[in-house]
Amino acid sequence: MYFDNTMNDKIPIFPLPLVLLPGEKLPLHIFEAKYKKMIEYCLKHNKKFGIINSKNNDTLTIGCTAEITQIATSGNDTGEYDILVTGVERFIIKSYNFSKDFKQAYVKTWQDIDDSVDEILLQETNVFLYEVLMKLGASSKISQISMPRAAFEVASMLDIDKRAKKMLLKSQSEKDRLIILKRILKKAIIKIDYDEPTKITYNKYSQFEA
């Protein structure tokens, strides 16, 4: 287990029944009073907030910071927000802080213990990604994989289920993440072929599973 000192800060925490990955975009509708205050705090202080899986039963709580990239009010007097966030950096919670109306936590960066890249494995993963996109009729996305892509970049192009996302989030090597993604993509190819590719489209395909 490896903790980096890159991020050793107190950040707002937003528990949700999902997993956010670095590079992933996520639309959120903010309506609870404490989370409206959290968003206002983040905007005022130019801060990111952390998203953790509220259904997490693990000893270690690992999440991902979220950067607000778009924001709009909902058009009524409730002060609700519709925002778009992008996952930035993984973190592990060291301790919680309850000094504000919303939950905060002291966190540290969750880093890889092995940052080497297996170029053959990366190429194989890209080949499977290419095949899945072709089978789902998403040829417009093919140009996005014309060069080697990191695991989290590949994952951001797919609607991956929560179990698989947790595995990717907790992984501490690029090799392990690519192995997970390669398995997900191979499983998807078999499922797509079984379900008749002509009846499935990229936008309507059910979640990719590990």
Domain extents in the chain: 3-110, 119-204
Separation of alpha carbons 68 and 52, rounded Å? 16
Arithmetic mean of pLDDT, 122-139: 84
Please give the radius of gyration of the chain, using alpha carbons only, rounded to the nearest integer: 18
Whether 172 and 195 have beta carbons less than 8 Å apart is answered as: no
Give DSSP secondary structure letters for 55-120: T--SSS-EEEEEEEEEEEE-SSTT--EEEEEEEEEEEEEEEEE-SSSS-EEEEEEE--SB----HH
Task: Report residue 208 as tokens.
Answer: 């990719």
pLDDT at position 58 is 74
- 3-110 folds as 2.30.130
- What pLDDT score does 72 carry? 79
pLDDT for 206 beyond 90:
no
Two tokens at 91?
């973190």
- Residue from 143, 120, 134 nearest 185 by CA: 134
Which carries the bigger pLDDT value, residue 12 or residue 1? 12
Residue 122 pLDDT > 60, yes or no? yes
Averaged pLDDT, 101-130: 91
> Tokens 């801060």 appear where?
47
- Residue 41: per-residue pLDDT: 94
Quick check: 104 pLDDT over 90? yes
Distance CA 206, CA 17 (A): 18
Confidence band of 63 (pLDDT split at 50, 70, 90) = very high
pLDDT band of residue 3 (cuts 50, 70, 90) is very low
Mean pLDDT throughout 133-153? 72
For residue 136, the 8-state DSSP code is: T
Indicate the average pLDDT of the chain.
85
Question: From residue 122, how far is each of 51, 89, 154, 169, 180 by CA, in Å?
Answer: 28, 21, 10, 18, 12
pTM confidence score:
0.85
Residue 17 has pLDDT above 80, yes or no: yes
